Structure 1
Amino acid sequence: MGKNRQAPNGILGFPVAPLTEAGVLDLNGLEANIDFLLDRGLTSIFIACGAGELHAISNEEYRSMVEVAVKKTKGKVPLYTGVGGNITVALEQAKISEELGTDGYLILPPYLIDPSQEGLYNYLSEIIESTDLSAIVYNRDNCVMTTETLGKLCEYPQLVGFKDGVGNMETVAEFTHLFGDRLEWINGMPLAEVTMASYMNLGYNSYSSAISNYIPHISALYFEALKNGDKKVSKEIYGEVILPIHRIRKQKKGYAVSLIKAGMKIVGLPVTTNVRAPIAPVEEEHYAQLKEIIEKALEKYPVKISTTN
């Protein structure tokens, strides 16, 4: 391939786009978000993706977010950006990502159009081949790939990963069987911890964790329990933390983003609960429910403070 294209794996960190009370992008808040994820041991950073409200930021804001992420992650963990939507804008974002020195990008679905597989291949391949950065395709919404389409995309050395946000286990099993170690397989389902046990059985060893923005040590504890076959710990965390948060998340569309910001505010990170339209903020009732879950979780699973000098 000519260059090291080691795909990110493990628990992947997806920072938000912190906004002030006036709705202005807060780069200091973003720095704090990234520092928090790095300090808690997340294995990579994905900036300006779905959780980072890619749909609602300008390319100027995009560049600023990427610049902050590059400064914070340089030499520490892989840094990926989000690109997608309008093909012209996606290509501009890919160039910005390359110019600023990121490792790669996650390609989000095309804007509005429900494409044929030919059109989908053209969209993804044009972005993939536009730079020499590593690329991850995201199987979700109007970007659901067939075996043939993914197989053709695998001919590009830039393609290093496949993120699934559909949950069709028959297709997931077929993909991992056919393409095996060619790609890193990433669980991108809503609140990925909910389905991670099933995905691991099919060869998935990575996932994007929304709750890692506020309780990353609990996500890590759960993941380790799954890998080690510790059913007692995994069942307790699943029942006491993961499912209750997931039930709140399902109450309203857009909570995939706004509930993250609520959790971050609850644990004391410098972020407001502001989001940009068309995402709606978390309702007070749901905020209170999330706060109770997090407080109980932190009481039972406290953050271990390192005593190393």
Structure 2
Amino acid sequence: MNRYIGIDVHQDKCHGTVLDEDGITARQGYFQNSPSGFKDFFDGTGTGKVAIEATDAWQPVYDWLTEKGFDVKLAHPHKTRIIAEVKIKTDCRDSEALADLVRADLIAEVYVPCDDMRELRGIAKQRGKLVQERSKYKNRTKAQLRKRGIEYKDRNIWTKSGKQWLRDLEINAVNDFLEVLKTLNDRISKLEEEIEEIAGDMEEARLLMTIPGVSYYTALTIIAEIATIERFPSPEHLCSYAGLVPSVKQSGSKEVHGPISGGRPLLRWIIYQATHNHKNNAPNSHVTEFYKRLEQRKPKKLAKTAAARKLTTVIYWMLKLKEEFHPKGYDPRTSR
């Protein structure tokens, strides 16, 4: 007998609903988000189709069920909720709604990368989090100086001499922040060494690093977020995945373009960074020239987003055709 299972996943616990072929609840309840918890709940249920909402804690139960032979689908959180509200029209708990949706074959799936790509994503994400933390402590240090009316704008306080100047101020909070910053810098440096080694062994990363302004970290992050270029049928699909396409509201013949929305935040951020660095490192490339032309007649923010879309399109064709960066552009239809 087929089983249709919805699982609402949290950090420590999960709530599962098991439906039979007729949509009757066969099992329901909480279980620990751990192998022993999975075994207790699924013991005797047989295999079936499972829907899990994509949250921070989805991987353990997804991997365990896949290994046991279940047909597991990772559900897009936003799209799944929209479908549930329209199609189910009840106040069911999340696991019940997911079970109903997988039974009706209405799950909006999220791509699940292979283990290697998941590891790359983890490394890239960890480096990004550490850099964000470092920025927070730098801002807190500056806030301590402003609080005391200490001028520092003509001084680079993050150089070796600048940090010594900060220590000489003998502000306890600032000294504490400097110690935290030292720890963060050490860990970021170690991660960057690991990233450089990994990226140096990847053909796709070496290709992307032929783009002026694209570093080891940028290349690896882009590749980790994309996973495989083959899953995108066109550059437009990749731009949409990155969240670089304006939203569209259409009613009859009227079409209104709004701000960009959705997409992968980390991918969008790293492409924005790559675009900014590229403009500074390649003033005569076709991407930079496109930005300069647009900047003359459009707001700077719109020009930046359009240039990021253009660079994303370039990245798409570079990975698709396995070609290095062309400073003056090229027509992919005439490439090998």
Structure with greater Cα Rg: 2
Greater share of helix: 2
TM-score (norm 2): 0.26
Larger relative contact order (Cα-Cα within 8 Å, sequence gap ≥ 6): 1
